[in-house]
Chains A and B, each alone.
Chain A
Amino acid sequence: MGGLRLSRLFFNRRIWLTAFALLLPLPAFLVSMNIGTYPVSGPELAEIIFSRLMGHDLRLPQVYDTVVFNIRLPRILLAMLVGAALSISGATLQGIFRNPLVSPFILGLSSGAAFGAALAMSVFPWMPLQMGAFSFSLLAVGSAYLMARRKGEVPVISLVLAGVVVSSVFGALLAIIQFAVDARSLQSIVYWNMGTLSTASWSKVDLAAPWVLVGCLILIALRWRLNVLALGEEEARSVGMNLELYKFVFIVTATLVASAVVSVAGIIGLVGLIVPHMVRMVFGPDHRILIPLSLTVGASFLVLVDDVARAAFSFEVPVGIITTLLGAPVFIYLLRATRAGGWE
Chain B
Amino acid sequence: MKAAEGIRVDEVSMAYGSSKILDGVSLSIGKGSVITMVGPNGCGKTTLLKIINNLLKPDRGRVFVEGREVNSMPAHRLARIMGYVPQGHKISFPFKVRDVVITGRMPYIPAFSSPKREDLEKTEQALVLTGISGLADQSYTQISGGERQLVMIARAMAQQPSVLLLDEPTSYLDFKNQILTLKMIKEISRSRKVTVIMTLHDPNHALMFSDEVVLLRKLNGSRAGNVIAFGPPHEAITPKNIQAAYGVEVEIAEVKGRKLLLPL
Contact = CB atoms under 8 A, between A and B. Distances in A.
A285 interface: yes
A231 B104 CA distance: 11
A238 B106 CA distance: 10
B75 A240 contact: yes
Most buried by A among B55, B78, B93: B93
Contacts of A234: 55, 86
Contacts of A221: 112
A98 interface: yes
B91 A284 contact: no
Contact of B109 (A224, A235, A285, A342): A224
Contacts of B114: 223-224, 288
Contacts of A342: 92
Contacts of A239: 79, 103-104, 106-107, 155, 159
A316 interface: no
B132 to A, nearest CB: 17
Given A222-B111, A224-B114, A280 B78 contact: no
B179 interface: no
Contacts of A280: 93
A57 B93 CA distance: 56
Contact of B107 (A98, A240, A285): A240
A210 interface: no
Interface residues of B, number: 36
A228 B75 contact: no
Contacts of B112: 221-222
B115 A235 contact: no
A228 B158 CA distance: 14
Nearest to B104: A239
Most buried by A among B84, B86, B92: B92
A177 interface: no
Most buried by B among A223, A239, A288, A342: A239
B153 to A, nearest CB: 13
A278 to B, nearest CB: 15
A344 interface: yes
Interface in A253-270: none
A230 to B, nearest CB: 6
Interface string B78-113: 111011101001111111100110011011010111
A308 B107 CA distance: 48
A228 B76 CA distance: 13
Nearest to B152: A235
A99 interface: yes
Most buried by A among B75, B80, B86, B104: B75
Nearest to B103: A228
Nearest to B111: A222
A232 B89 contact: yes
Given A99-B92, A235-B89, A240-B106, A224 B113 contact: yes
Given A224-B114, A239-B103, A232 B91 contact: yes
Interface residues of A, number: 30
Given A224-B109, A227-B99, A288-B114, A237 B55 contact: yes
A238 B92 contact: no
Interface in B115-163: 115, 155-156, 159
A135 B99 CA distance: 38
A236 B156 CA distance: 11
Contacts of A240: 74-80, 106-107, 159
A311 to B, nearest CB: 37
B141 to A, nearest CB: 10
A344 B113 contact: no
Contacts of B95: 227, 230-231, 284-286
Contacts of B55: 234, 237-238
B53 interface: yes
A323 B104 CA distance: 39
A230 B93 contact: yes
A284 B75 contact: no
Interface in A185-231: 221-225, 227-228, 230-231
Interface string B171-202: 00000000000000000000000000000000
Most buried by B among A98, A236, A237: A237
Interface in B38-78: 53, 55, 74-78
Given A240-B80, A285-B94, A285-B95, A228 B111 contact: no
A163 interface: no
A223 B114 CA distance: 8
Interface in A71-110: 95, 98-100
A249 to B, nearest CB: 10
Given A224-B113, A227-B99, A240-B79, 7 more contacts: A95-B93, A221-B112, A236-B106, A239-B104, A239-B107, A240-B74, A284-B95
Give me the 7 closest cross-chain CB pairs, A-B, nearest first: A240-B79, A285-B93, A238-B84, A240-B76, A240-B107, A239-B106, A342-B92
Interface of B: 53, 55, 74-80, 82-84, 86, 89-96, 99-100, 103-104, 106-107, 109, 111-115, 155-156, 159
16 contacts: A224-B113, A228-B106, A230-B95, A231-B91, A231-B100, A236-B103, A238-B53, A238-B55, A238-B156, A239-B79, A239-B159, A240-B79, A241-B75, A286-B95, A286-B96, A288-B114
